[in-house]
Amino acid sequence: MSEMELKNLLLELQNDQKNWAEVAEQQFVFSMMEHIGSTDSELRDELVYQAFWRLIHDRHLSNELMNDMLKTALSDVYLFYEIGEKGVDSVFKRSFTTLLIALILNQDLQHSFLTDEMIEKVKDKLVAYLDLEEDIRGYVTDKGWAHSVAHTAYAIDELVKNPKLKVDDYDDIFQSLVNKIFTSKAVYIAGEDERVITPIFTMIENGLSIDIAKGLFERIPPFLSKQKEKATTKKFIILQANCKTFLKSFYYMASTDRKYSFIERKIERCLTEIR
């Protein structure tokens, strides 16, 4: 199915000219996946993604089909499609694949159908993808949101809510999220820090060792000190800006619950040292 054919069909569905149950079939669903990374933002954001949300949320798709979709989404031709490229359109396919993964994970929370092994596989793939993704653009002119970091953080938040995931897996996930923030490639300006912090707090609530979180704030000052000696001035300024934004957002979110007062104190000390 071409982009135009798919767009017309989705518009008919959106306008109630067709019934959702009529198109909840494997052929149609995989046609949508084929165009999940379209550079047409209306098709990608408002039609394909919204259609996936509707089909999954309203239980139009079988568990078997959603399992097949998830396996396909985790493959080299979707989540890892042209991984390592940056500044090109392939990021849309990778990034919006993470949103589809998030929808399926959310449905598993409501109606458990994924195996423990599949949840573990999703964890491994999302961590590997986050580590490998080089294109961290937010909004792309004329093409809309790429937002790979924010979208992946959303998928990870759905993952770490899942009781099938082992708490022992949190350490790797936490480090992968933090590593993505501490970058000198670009200054995050589209709320990526808040999106990354959300699954971190979910993990803390669900059993992530407090010592791991506290240890992060203790490591940041010496880490920045070393980077100041090694990196160019421009790269260091970018890295420091991302660190400070992350810390301030973390501080704000911790301040909303008194049980996190110890985190506030750690962040205050950290910000004072890197000022």
Please give the single-letter amino acid code of residue 182.
Answer: F
- Residue 35 inside a domain? The answer is no
Q: What is the pLDDT of residue 123?
A: 98
pLDDT exceeds 80 at position 22: no
One domain for residues 115 and 130:
yes
- Residue 134 inside a domain? The answer is yes
One domain for residues 67 and 177:
yes
One domain for residues 229 and 195:
no
What's the distance, CA 211 to chain centroid?
24
One domain for residues 201 and 239:
no
One domain for residues 190 and 130:
yes
Band of pLDDT at residue 29, cut at 50, 70 and 90: very high
Domain termination residue (choose one: 190, 208, 226): 208
Q: What is the pLDDT of residue 273?
A: 94
One domain for residues 254 and 138:
no
- Residue 29 inside a domain? The answer is no
One domain for residues 152 and 173:
yes
- Residue 14 inside a domain? The answer is no
> Which of 38-52, 118-132, 206-220 has the least mean pLDDT?
206-220
CA distances to 15, 71, 74, 81, 83 from 185, rounded to whole Å, are: 42, 31, 26, 21, 16
Cβ neighbour number for residue 213 with a 10 Å cutoff: 21
Q: Which domain holds residue 256?
A: 210-275
DSSP 136: -
Domain termination residue (choose one: 208, 237, 261): 208
Band of pLDDT at residue 48, cut at 50, 70 and 90: very high
One domain for residues 143 and 259:
no
Domain termination residue (choose one: 152, 180, 208): 208
72: CB partners within 8 A, 6+ apart: 30, 33, 78
pTM for the model stands at 0.95
One domain for residues 230 and 242:
yes
Q: Structural domain tally of the chain?
A: 2
pLDDT exceeds 90 at position 106: yes
- Residue 260 inside a domain? The answer is yes
One domain for residues 150 and 105:
yes
Q: What is the mean pLDDT of the chain?
A: 95
Helix axes 50-57, 90-110, angle to 10 degrees: 20
- Residue 273 inside a domain? The answer is yes
Give the ranges where 111-260 is alpha helix by DSSP (H): 116-132, 148-160, 170-181, 192-206, 210-230, 233-254
One domain for residues 90 and 153:
yes
Q: What is the pLDDT of residue 14?
A: 86
> Tens digit of pLDDT for each residue in 68-93?
999 999 999 999 999 999 999 999 99
Q: What is the pLDDT of residue 214?
A: 87
Answer yes or no: are the C-beta atoms of 135 and 148 closer than 8 Å: yes
Following CA atoms 198, 204, 207, 211 in sequence, which dihedral angle do they give, to the nearest 10 degrees? 140
Band of pLDDT at residue 17, cut at 50, 70 and 90: confident
- Residue 49 inside a domain? The answer is no
- Residue 33 inside a domain? The answer is no
> Tens digit of pLDDT for each residue in 214-231?
899 999 999 999 999 999
One domain for residues 191 and 101:
yes
